[in-house]
Structure 1
């Protein structure tokens, strides 16, 4: 017997502005040239679920969080300002101290009413995220929107909408940890915030020195994502090992991110049934806080990543073994270094801050190490913490996040929300099951992982 989907509503109080608890500087602070690109000018939804804790009985999470937010906005005062746009579409924060939007809400449902284990897509998600007319833009609007919803079980959710130009996942988690530390009674955040957006600024004489196919102008239209189906897919040790078995020996030690990305890209392309000669892309978000890049200062909370892209044709991607896709993903990731980041910043200035290419593109972002679930507001770790759904801005179906997850059997791994048209989703599920269950059908399916074959497609 199939249970009915969970349907509920919340009772919202009138929205209010939470201002810094003490006076803050009134100044204009420029964003970096990585921050203010078109592809980050949207609100990204995050949600945290917290269970009832007997020791916290009688403590109102709304009061605790609202007060901690006000105190956190003193060191993080740019969040309390508003964005303005100057010449050449340059974004700056006018540090007005106006505050962030806060909504108090209640619902009768329990966390246990949600399908276990907790994972996207969440039913009635829009009920748990602040939706206030006039406050969902980019310019002249609050840069953070919080909704704290008390639940019938004594637990609560914290729904967050972040203006992505202000911070990436590690930056938001840094701010949330500051709020959590203050909520737990600490006198100040452990990590002091650092602005220094010039670290990712363009050079005085901008010059694009690298190839950035992620910002190419590509003809064509986005796949018409109507009749959308949302599903999440778990990758634990069994699934990842099944994928490794489909790789030649010299590629089997590659990272989980590269292997899972190669699999998803290949299966998604096959499910969409594109013309074999059509160009397809996977965009891998690469963190510039490490790897081949010099990390920004400790406490930096701006966007610090690149959108490198792997490109091939649908026919080559689906007609070759998995190692072919993995090689393309690996090459794209390894291109990102300090010069690559400077080249992007310069490109933004020279080309008017374009959006990354979304035509026949699939974007993946690994937030499994961002530690949203570790944010402890006094009620312990979150039962779930992280992206509220897949998607980039108003473009459904283009992106997936890799979220840390423990399945019902107690196995740790990642869960990946995927959004596709209904018929394509059915084909995607079949493709995924074929890749992650059982050994490869033949040696041909594994291939030899020839780097010459991989590089010839670039």
Structure 2
């Protein structure tokens, strides 16, 4: 568990633009029609916490990372560019070496002050990531740096690496690929081991564009606009991390239909979706949804080029009425989750790209929808700038995007017994949290 932090001050230096260390092509590169949907137009935040390394005594991690970043931006030069919107809200990157934003800082804290932090949100994350200017509460992505980095030195000799990527240009694996390129250059390599590939033409709309699927993820659910999650004030929300370890997973497996093979993600997602629906008290006829990311990487039917770092995923949707979901057993929810998971093919991704062009790049539906992203296997802790593996590595926040209370990350963590499991930071109206806890306990108790 993360410890309450003692009083502290973060002293930021003056932010600077870091540009590629060598001349790079001056050109305009279009994003894919998967990249530039409304739901991608935000900055995704991540944090890595490092302890002191005696072998690095006297070295400034901020300078090491600053210099490696400048070198990494040579092969990854589009990340140093700026987004521009063309006709049809099409986003392109003007690549003229404008640079990414970087700031070094110092904090009156040690790595030990954070305790055993293993899952988001990271304590006081706002102090360790560099925000950009907001307009009416919205952070624009047009004509802004595509990456913001803050390196905060700790008084113990450790440091915190905080980054914010524009989601239009990278997804989580793509961002990790770039961070590992910085690591390799910071630790003495002359070039990144993976050569980056743009490859965005793979996910461009067809000519003419045509929808092959209903794409519920972009359609409002049946039953009207009512949803407590969209109307409850943040001050009336409770935030509780839920841990699904060996005992909880065993309990869920006992409730799966005989012979059904289920992943840990499918079991946890089905459990939370069903429990959340019951806790929020939707009427039986209202449609409820679980939306989750299905990654296209590593699949034979989607031959991505080696080194691709753009967005390569789609949101898939499981849908039912609240009455059907809460009235059925866990197996009913699992069937819906598995069916939705298998629906994403290359043709499905192209259909999403077509929808973006035909319908003005809409935001995905949010009403009575629970959106999850599994980052359990992203390898955040393996980001090593030369100081060793991260103590914590992962998302800065519990959820991101338009409404953090609607979105969740699934992360890997250990409990107090040293058991490894999946942790999910749940955010619900206070009066619904106790009901949710009881529902989860009922589904995870071993029979």
* CA deviation after TM superposition for structure 1 residue 420, in Å: 1.7
Name which of 224, 229, 232 aligns with 1:225: 232
Paired with 1:263 and 1:292, the residues of 2 have a C-alpha distance of 30
* CA deviation after TM superposition for structure 1 residue 4, in Å: 5.8
Equivalent residues in 2 for 1:52-451, closer than 5 Å: 52-133=52-133, 136-218=139-221, 219-222=224-227, 223=229, 224-226=231-233, 227-251=236-260, 253-291=261-299, 293-439=301-447
Task: Describe the superposition over 1:52-99 as per-residue Cα deviations: whole angstroms up to 9, x where unpaired.
Answer: 122212111101111111100000001101000001100000112111
The verdict on how the C-alpha distance between 1:385 and 1:181 changes in structure 2, with shifts beyond 3 A counting, is same
Paired with 1:345 and 1:159, the residues of 2 have a C-alpha distance of 31
* CA deviation after TM superposition for structure 1 residue 432, in Å: 1.9
Paired with 2:303 and 2:434, the residues of 1 have a C-alpha distance of 42
* CA deviation after TM superposition for structure 1 residue 310, in Å: 0.7
* CA deviation after TM superposition for structure 1 residue 14, in Å: 1.2
The verdict on how the C-alpha distance between 1:323 and 1:153 changes in structure 2, with shifts beyond 3 A counting, is same
Task: Describe the superposition over 1:289-337 as per-residue Cα deviations: whole angstroms up to 9, x where unpaired.
Answer: 1347413111000000010101111121111111111100001111111
Contact kept? 1:121, 1:230, Cα under 8 Å: no
Contact kept? 2:250, 2:446, Cα under 8 Å: no
Paired with 1:372 and 1:188, the residues of 2 have a C-alpha distance of 21
* CA deviation after TM superposition for structure 1 residue 383, in Å: 1.1
**Counterpart secondary structure, 1:430:** helix
* CA deviation after TM superposition for structure 1 residue 257, in Å: 1.1
* CA deviation after TM superposition for structure 1 residue 139, in Å: 0.3
Tell me which moved more, 314-323 or 213-222.
Answer: 213-222
* CA deviation after TM superposition for structure 1 residue 254, in Å: 1.1
Paired with 1:292 and 1:327, the residues of 2 have a C-alpha distance of 24
* CA deviation after TM superposition for structure 1 residue 394, in Å: 3.2
**Counterpart secondary structure, 2:151:** strand
Tell me which moved more, 65-74 or 402-411.
Answer: 402-411
Task: Describe the superposition over 1:256-315 as per-residue Cα deviations: whole angstroms up to 9, x where unpaired.
Answer: 111111011111111211112111000021001134741311100000001010111112
Paired with 1:373 and 1:405, the residues of 2 have a C-alpha distance of 11
Contact kept? 1:233, 1:417, Cα under 8 Å: yes
Paired with 2:184 and 2:380, the residues of 1 have a C-alpha distance of 14
* CA deviation after TM superposition for structure 1 residue 429, in Å: 2.2
Tell me which moved more, 301-310 or 364-373.
Answer: 364-373
The verdict on how the C-alpha distance between 1:110 and 1:238 changes in structure 2, with shifts beyond 3 A counting, is same
Tell me which moved more, 193-202 or 428-437.
Answer: 428-437
- Return 5+ residue gaps in structure 2 as ranges: none
Paired with 1:100 and 1:230, the residues of 2 have a C-alpha distance of 33
**Counterpart secondary structure, 2:350:** helix
Paired with 1:134 and 1:399, the residues of 2 have a C-alpha distance of 21
Equivalenced residue count is: 436
- Return 5+ residue gaps in structure 1 as ranges: 440-458
Paired with 2:269 and 2:118, the residues of 1 have a C-alpha distance of 23
Paired with 1:67 and 1:4, the residues of 2 have a C-alpha distance of 34
Aligned to 1:450: none
Aligned to 1:20: 20
Tell me which moved more, 312-321 or 6-15.
Answer: 6-15
Aligned to 1:455: none
Paired with 1:75 and 1:221, the residues of 2 have a C-alpha distance of 48
Task: Describe the superposition over 1:431-451 as per-residue Cα deviations: whole angstroms up to 9, x where unpaired.
Answer: 222222332xxxxxxxxxxxx
**Counterpart secondary structure, 2:196:** coil
**Counterpart secondary structure, 1:148:** strand
Paired with 1:289 and 1:148, the residues of 2 have a C-alpha distance of 30
**Counterpart secondary structure, 1:410:** coil
* CA deviation after TM superposition for structure 1 residue 5, in Å: 6.0
Segments of 4+ moved more than 3 angstroms: 3-9, 132-136, 290-293
